[in-house]
Chain A
Amino acid sequence: MSDFANSLSIAASGMEAQAMRLRHVSENIANADTPGYHRKVTSFETVLDQGQATGEVRLGAVKLDPSELARVLDPGNPLADQNGYYDGSNVDLVVEIADAREAQRSYEANLRMFDQARQMSASLLDLLRR
């Protein structure tokens, strides 16, 4: 039974991490037109409990993408310099959408694992009910 409890908590941690990743992706997309915005980059890491890997996963520290900001030509913008350019964001919508898709796919895989562990423990408990 502890294996199932283990599976459930691991799958839940996976879902939580993917949901957080999706949240950062949506933050990036929402700020795609914010001047000077650096996109947030996330990475996963395994959870350690007293030096031992528990198998759970969590989102690591959020970093900012240091790549160059897009230069946008808009002389009428109050932020524009003397040449008429201002710093846009370095968000690439295509990359963000791809990332969101991957997060969704991984979330569903974790959900399936959760559901399967639940079903297996339920059918195990059914044996007791007879």
Chain B
Amino acid sequence: MFEKPEVLTIASSLAAHAAARQSAIARNVANADTPGYRAQDLPDFAETYRAEDAAPLRRTRAGHVGAGSGSGVAIATDRVGGGTMSPNGNSVSLETEMVKAADVKREHDLALAIYGKSLAILRASLGRR
């Protein structure tokens, strides 16, 4: 199982993805009243996972080495989800952002739980409980 601890890699990628998405959501919420601001979002982790099936899942951000090959992990702008454009050109919907925030929290908790549990299993196999 732990010849190559891929679980840990996936879990840490998921946590990094959740953190990056949380940052995008915080940006949207802070700019909820800025005229002309367009809501931003990152694609789902599952989408980026499938897009890079063979490649390692380390590229969760545009700034990472090897990213930028159009794998769709960069911050996608103009993702109008649910909310409509307000008269001042702002497309942020606070309700949608709250739903996304809850989603991100769940994703992050999941990643950390898996990571922690995997570490516990590793530790148990080493005989240090």
Q: For residue A55, which residues in chain B have a CB less than 8 angstroms away from its CB?
A: 23, 26-27, 30-31
Residue A31 is within 8 A (CB to CB) of chain B in the complex: no
Q: For residue B29, which residues in chain A have a CB less than 8 angstroms away from its CB?
A: 11, 14, 106, 109-110, 113
Residue B51 is within 8 A (CB to CB) of chain A in the complex: no
Residue B59 is within 8 A (CB to CB) of chain A in the complex: no
In the complex, are the beta carbons of B23 and A10 less than 8 A apart? yes
Cβ distance B125 to chain A, nearest Cβ, rounded Å: 16
In the complex, are the beta carbons of B33 and A127 less than 8 A apart? no
Chain B 2-43, CB within 8 Å of chain A: the 1/0 string?
Answer: 000000000000011011101101110111111101000000
Using a CB–CB cutoff of 8 Å, the interface residues on chain A facing chain B are 1, 3-4, 6-8, 10-11, 13-14, 17-18, 21, 43-46, 55-57, 102, 105-106, 109-110, 112-114, 116-117, 119-120, 123-124, 126-127, 130
Q: For residue A7, which residues in chain B have a CB less than 8 angstroms away from its CB?
A: 19, 22-23, 25-26
In the complex, are the beta carbons of A120 and B108 less than 8 A apart? yes
Beyond contacts A8-B26, A113-B30, A117-B22: 6 other A-B pairs, Cβ-Cβ < 8 A, are A7-B25, A44-B34, A106-B32, A109-B32, A112-B98, A113-B25
Q: For residue B33, which residues in chain A have a CB less than 8 angstroms away from its CB?
A: 18, 21, 44, 102, 106
Residue B115 is within 8 A (CB to CB) of chain A in the complex: yes
The 27 listed contacts between A and B (C-beta, < 8 Å) are A3-B19, A3-B23, A7-B23, A7-B26, A10-B23, A11-B30, A43-B35, A44-B33, A45-B34, A46-B37, A55-B30, A55-B31, A106-B94, A109-B29, A109-B94, A109-B98, A110-B26, A112-B101, A113-B25, A113-B29, A113-B101, A116-B101, A116-B105, A117-B22, A117-B26, A124-B15, A130-B116
List the A residue with the shortest CB-CB distance to B94.
A109
Partner of B112, one of A106, A114, A123: A123
The A/B interface has a contact count, at CB < 8 Å, of 99
Grouping DSSP codes into helix (H, G, I), strand (E, B) and loop, the A interface class, with mixed when no group exceeds half, is helix
Q: How far does the alpha carbon of A8 sit from the alpha carbon of B22 in the complex, in Å?
A: 10
List the B residue with the shortest CB-CB distance to A120.
B108
Cβ distance B114 to chain A, nearest Cβ, rounded Å: 11
In the complex, are the beta carbons of B109 and A123 less than 8 A apart? yes
